Chains A and B, each alone.
Chain A
């Protein structure tokens, strides 16, 4: 029996230099078809139809979309309604403007190193393959095999400080990098737990059931867990709630509003906690099973290759099931 063909991955680039810049990331991907400077609108649709393509995944370079070709994603969604769309950007390039991504409901942004560093490339390729099979990320994907996963079921809001102290204690080391990682880990855990405790619980009308900072007992049906794993270099964390109220289209909208809110200094911008989590993580993952569960997490490294201004990635999925 012949082996099944790999699913088709369509990759669209601005030009030859753009293709070359992403070559280390995409070189070994099976089923990849690359197109440089794709034709506009109707001609693009005609070309895709003539090629009889049915890609499972469309990869877009941030040098092409959104600034050069803002209409591209709307067109792609019309031609390939079930394909996942992944925007890729180099760590050395500026963060793509998020407003257009929010309008087009882009759910996956991957930041790739600008060099040939093999470990980073492999993990990004794994992320791409995970999109193809539609499985959510797992903590253990980001830490060395055998790393211990610490899990805290939450039954009271008063557990937050003890949980954060335990997390800080697990990051051992006196170096400046480790101290910085402890500070960031504590902040991220705080935001993640607060999101699950006060952001997720909503009534049928969408109104929040609890005020931030309010002391409360957590019902066992809420199924709120915090988990983390640390292998000495990479810290992976996630929070799980049994509410599933985070709307996927709101995630990028929150990020975009807070990104642009930097110019107007508003103290009332919604989703600031999520924005902070995203900016401090190397990559943010959200998997939502509406009305059932939200898993929000990501990873960061003690010695990060990203500077504070460089773009960060995100993956927002709906109903992905663990393999």
Chain B
């Protein structure tokens, strides 16, 4: 699996589906900044199945991105396919206060 960060996004009539691939760190900043503008629906699914390591900078960027989606798009965010380490990381840094976890 490549560690370079990538985003794959698609929309249906009722929800946006966004897959985050690779490590999420400072190098993901520009792409994560653009994400809120890509949201069309009031339900957004984020897929972390192919996400790698998420460091503290990545957490800060995700928090900013999720807050913007909630505030500007009034959208609900659902996170799926998190590995155990990222689940714990999201729990301890408050990410789950902005997004629910689909197990």
Contacts and interface: CB of A to CB of B under 8 A. Distances in A.
A267 interface: yes
Interface residues of B, number: 27
Q: Is the interface of B mostly helix, strand, loop or mixed?
A: helix
A214 B3 CA distance: 17
B60 interface: yes
A265 B67 contact: yes
Given A180-B84, A213-B26, A191 B92 contact: no
Interface string A246-283: 00000000000010011111111000110110011000
A186 interface: yes
B38 interface: no
B59 A272 contact: yes
Contacts of A212: 26, 57
Contacts of A275: 56, 92-93
Contact of A184 (B3, B85, B93): B85
Given A180-B84, A183-B84, A262 B57 contact: no
Contact of B55 (A194, A263, A268): A194
A262 B55 contact: no
15 contacts: A183-B83, A191-B56, A194-B55, A194-B56, A194-B57, A213-B27, A213-B29, A214-B26, A258-B93, A261-B94, A263-B94, A267-B64, A276-B59, A279-B92, A280-B88
Given A186-B53, A262-B97, A276-B93, 7 more contacts: A183-B85, A187-B55, A194-B55, A213-B57, A214-B26, A266-B94, A275-B92
